[in-house]
């Protein structure tokens, strides 16, 4: 078999191994689309309003799609914010699929977590670049992007920790091997 056409190894970063390739490609497309619109828009045009609107629309679509669709389909996680109508207090609610009901594909998981953590870092670099080059007019857009992507990163990180803690407690209560559960949960999400 030709090495160029060899099947990718399980868990590698190849969208062909995804359990949900359309969801994965849409998720990555929104993530890359907002960055490319900002970068190429800044280079090729001076129309701040057009770049601002298109980038904000892509960021909003990414935020919604990630929070409500991609997170649930790719890694079995979802979060939302609830406000108590009587006190006005707000709290985050985390949801994860039941252990054993959803098998998370290692490729989906790697793409998901890599994109979740890389996006805020890239926007932070762009914010720093806007400050260094004295392009303060672009700063509000970059700050909005940084807030939206960081919120999803933080929420999904907490959701994953909540899920791992729930799975660990459930396996301990069900008479499972507690030491084995702790060891397996300590392995990073990039190795799932």
Instruction: Give the pLDDT score at 161.
Output: 85
Q: Are 145 and 59 in contact (CB under 8 A)?
A: yes
Does residue 86 sit in helix, strand or coil?
coil
pLDDT at residue 126 in the model: 95
The dihedrals phi and psi of 94, each to the nearest 5 degrees, come to -115, 140
Q: Alpha-carbon distance 156 to 99, whole Å?
A: 17
User: Judging by DSSP bridges, how do beta strands 77-83 and 90-96 pair with one another?
Assistant: antiparallel
Cα torsion 142, 145, 149, 154: sign: positive
For the chain, the domain total comes to: 1
* pLDDT number for residue 42: 83
Tell me if 70 is assigned to some domain.
yes
pLDDT for 170: 47
Alpha-helical (H) ranges within the chain are: 21-44, 48-65, 106-132, 139-173, 178-186
- Structural domain contains residue 1: no
Name the residue range of residue 181's domain. 8-191
Tell me whether residue 88 is in a domain. yes
Residues of the chain below pLDDT 70: 1-13, 15, 99-100, 163-192
Residue 96 confidence (pLDDT): 85
Instruction: Note whether residue 166 is domain-resident.
Output: yes
Residue 3 included in any domain = no
The pair of three-digit structure tokens given for residue 142, joined into one six-digit string: 């970059």
Residue 94 lies in a domain: yes
Beta bridge partners of 166: none
Residue 2 belongs to a domain: no
pLDDT score recorded for residue 10: 57
């Amino acid at each position: 078999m030709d090495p160029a056409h060899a099947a990718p190894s399980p868990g590698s970063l190849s969208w062909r191994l995804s359990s949900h390739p359309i969801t994965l490609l849409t998720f990555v497309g929104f993530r890359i689309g907002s960055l490319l619109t900002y970068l190429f828009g800044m280079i090729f045009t001076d129309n701040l309003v057009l770049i601002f609107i298109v980038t904000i629309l892509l960021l909003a679509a990414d935020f919604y799609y990630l929070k409500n669709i991609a997170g649930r389909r790719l890694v079995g996680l979802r979060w939302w914010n609830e406000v108590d109508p009587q006190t006005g207090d707000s709290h985050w609610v985390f949801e994860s699929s039941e252990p054993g009901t959803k098998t998370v594909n290692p490729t989906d998981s790697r793409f998901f977590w890599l994109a979740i953590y890389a996006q805020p870092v890239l926007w932070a670099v762009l914010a720093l670049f806007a400050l260094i080059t004295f392009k303060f007019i672009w700063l509000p857009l970059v700050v909005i992007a940084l807030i939206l992507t960081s919120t999803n990163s933080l929420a999904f990180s907490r959701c994953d920790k909540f899920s791992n803690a729930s799975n660990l407690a459930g396996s301990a209560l069900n008479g499972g091997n507690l030491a084995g559960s702790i060891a397996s949960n300590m392995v990073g999400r990039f190795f799932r």
